[in-house]
Amino acid sequence: MAFYRLCRKTKHICNIATMETRSKYFQQKSDFTTNTAATKRPKKKTLKMEYDNRTEIKQEVATPSKQIKIEPKDEDVEGGDLWYPDYWRLQLNNIQAMREDRSAVVDSQGCERTADKNETPEIQRFQTLVSLMLSSQTKDQVTFAAMGRLKEYGCTPQKLMNSTQEKIGRLIYPVGFWKRKSKYLQETATICNNEFSGDIPNSIKTLTSLPGVGPKMAYICMTAAWGQVDGIGVDTHVHRICNRLQWVQKPTKTPEQTRKALEAWLPRDEWKDINILLVGFGQQTCLPVHPRCVGCLNKDICPASTAHVEMKTRNPKPKIKKETK
Ligand code: SF4
Domain ranges of the chain: 105-226
Provide CB contacts within 8 A for 297, sequence distance 6+. 64, 65, 66, 68, 94, 95, 97, 98
CB 237 near ligand 1, within 6 Å: no
pLDDT at residue 308 in the model: 80
Give the chain's residues under pLDDT 50: 1, 17-39, 46-78
- Beta strands (DSSP E) in the chain are 4-6, 13-15
Q: How far is the CA of 11 from the centre of ligand 1 (A)?
A: 72
Whole-angstrom Cα distance, residue 25 to residue 22?
9
pLDDT at residue 192 in the model: 97
CB 193 near ligand 1, within 6 Å: no
Write down the catalytic residue from 117, 216, 317, 325: 216
What is the signed CA dihedral for 75, 300, 236, 102, rounded to 10 degrees? 90
| C-beta separation of 74 from 43 below 8 A | no
Cis check for the bond before 288: say yes or no (omega within 30 of 0): no
Provide CB contacts within 8 A for 269, sequence distance 6+. none
CB 286 near ligand 1, within 6 Å: yes
Provide CB contacts within 8 A for 149, sequence distance 6+. 171, 172
- Diameter over CA atoms, the chain: 138
Superfamily of domain 105-226: Hypothetical protein; domain 2 (1.10.340.30)
Please name the amino acid found at residue 300.
D
Q: Which helix (H) or strand (E) holds 289?
A: none
pLDDT at residue 6 in the model: 52
Look up 117 and say whether it is catalytic: no
pLDDT at residue 70 in the model: 43
pLDDT at residue 309 in the model: 77
